Amino acid sequence: MYQFEEQIWFWALLALPTFVLGTLLVHIWRSKVQRQFADAALFDYLSPDRSSFKSTLKLILRCLTILFLVLALVNPKIGTKLETVKREGVDIVFAVDVSKSMLAEDVAPNRLEKAKQLVSQIINNLVSDRIGIIAYAGKAFPQLPITTDYGVGKMFLQNLSTDMLSSQGTAIDQALLLAQTYYNDEAQTNRILFIVSDGEDHGEISAQEMAENLADLGIRIFSIGVGENQGVPIPIKQNGVMISYKKDQNGEVVISKRNESTLKEIAEASNGFYIDGNSTNEVVERVTDILSQMDKKEFESTEFAEFKDQFQWFLGLGILFLILDVLFLERKTAWIKRLNLFNENL
């Protein structure tokens, strides 16, 4: 396990392309001036010890110096000690809809990105609960098992996309079916499933019946609806540029609407309720209120308790490359020149 203490210093890496571009511009200007003074053959005769390779090598060394010094400022740390700690919380699973309808842009920037923002904000407000993530479209896929590592959870969350599942459509029943076996702690009395979707459902099994089955297992479902009720077309983009809208088999443009009624029925069937997901603050407040009213179960988790600084290795490498840059001159090395590897003296 590793972590970065001062991530803000990563911005300093922007100095690398700036430095390389500046060096190239100076090289171009110098070459232009030299051509005005003499042609290439005469200039090589007047400056026989000039080495173009050394100039490139020094540029590489300077870039490596900047890179490792920045990494030293970031100060990467490696976990060195595992410790078992006790926590109190509930098990929360997020079932996120990744079907093509989630690309609709009736909420900014689109429904899927809005769903990811909502889940991320909820995770930011958790303290000691365990989380899991399910992605579903035509089928459901276990994206993240139950864990206490919120950082990993948000990383997996950001990787969600409409291209990750080949089976398209929206089958909420598949997400509910997977959620039945997702909670790995039988002693956990409070289990929560958040369905984050626009509510479109083409599943073969009644999602409401599935929700009732989950309620029998002690799982409460809260649905979060994203999108607008009036409906919008689903854009098809290539390299970030919209080229058309999604069409049905008859060539008609598909209009995708948020289906609140389906989401409400699923939630109410498991003693939960529906939350309008278009307001991030409202969602976070409602979820915080839900969790505060639930009994917490004590459980043990293994975490890294101590982290050891690693900046000294990067600082040492940065200084080493800086020293090499100073030692290497831009003229040819005498003993290599005497080897005459390329028959330059013939």
Contact assessment for residue 199 and residue 259, using Cβ atoms and an 8 Å cutoff: yes
Among 23-27, 45-49, 82-86, 181-185, where is mean pLDDT lowest?
45-49
The label of the residue with tokens 């000039």 reads: 50
Task: Please tell me the chain's helix, strand, coil percentages from 3-state DSSP, rounded to the nearest 5.
Answer: 45, 25, 30
Nearest to 151 by CA among 1, 308, 309: 1
- Distances in whole angstroms, Cα of residue 290 to Cα of each of 90, 152, 216, 234: 11, 24, 19, 33
Higher pLDDT, 248 or 137: 137
> All domains of the chain, ordered by start, with CATH?
2-75+310-339 (no CATH), 84-301 (3.40.50.410)
Question: What average pLDDT does the segment 157-179 reach?
Answer: 84
Mean pLDDT of the chain: 83
Higher pLDDT, 304 or 23: 23
**pLDDT on residue 58:** 85
Q: 104: left (phi > 0), else alpha (psi -120 to 50), else beta?
A: beta
Distance CA 332, CA 54 (A): 7
302 pLDDT band, cuts 50/70/90, is low
Contact assessment for residue 134 and residue 173, using Cβ atoms and an 8 Å cutoff: no
Strands (DSSP E) contained in the chain are 2-4, 76-89, 91-97, 130-136, 140-147, 191-197, 219-225, 232-233, 235-238, 241-245, 255-256, 274-276, 297-309
**pLDDT on residue 29:** 84
Nearest to 233 by CA among 222, 213, 214, 248: 248
- Distances in whole angstroms, Cα of residue 164 to Cα of each of 27, 238, 240: 46, 17, 18
Q: Which two tokens stand for residue 315?
A: 């600082």
Distance CA 106, CA 249 (A): 23
Distance CA 256, CA 227 (A): 9
Does 30 have pLDDT greater than 80?
Answer: no
Contact assessment for residue 91 and residue 190, using Cβ atoms and an 8 Å cutoff: yes
Question: What average pLDDT does the segment 260-288 reach?
Answer: 92
Q: Which two tokens stand for residue 110?
A: 């689109």
Q: Tell me which H or E stretch contains 150.
A: helix 150-158
310 pLDDT band, cuts 50/70/90, is confident
**pLDDT on residue 151:** 86
- Distances in whole angstroms, Cα of residue 271 to Cα of each of 218, 225, 261, 328: 10, 17, 15, 73
**pLDDT on residue 182:** 86
The strands making up 191-197's β-sheet, listed across from edge to edge, are 140-147, 130-136, 91-97, 191-197, 219-225, 274-276
Distance CA 254, CA 232 (A): 8
45 pLDDT band, cuts 50/70/90, is low
Higher pLDDT, 165 or 266: 266
**Alpha carbon distance, N-terminus to C-terminus of the chain:** 59
Higher pLDDT, 92 or 170: 92
Among 3-7, 34-38, 86-90, where is mean pLDDT lowest?
34-38
Distance CA 135, CA 77 (A): 32
Distance CA 323, CA 103 (A): 52
43 pLDDT band, cuts 50/70/90, is low
From the CA atom positions of the chain, what is the Rg in Å? Answer: 29
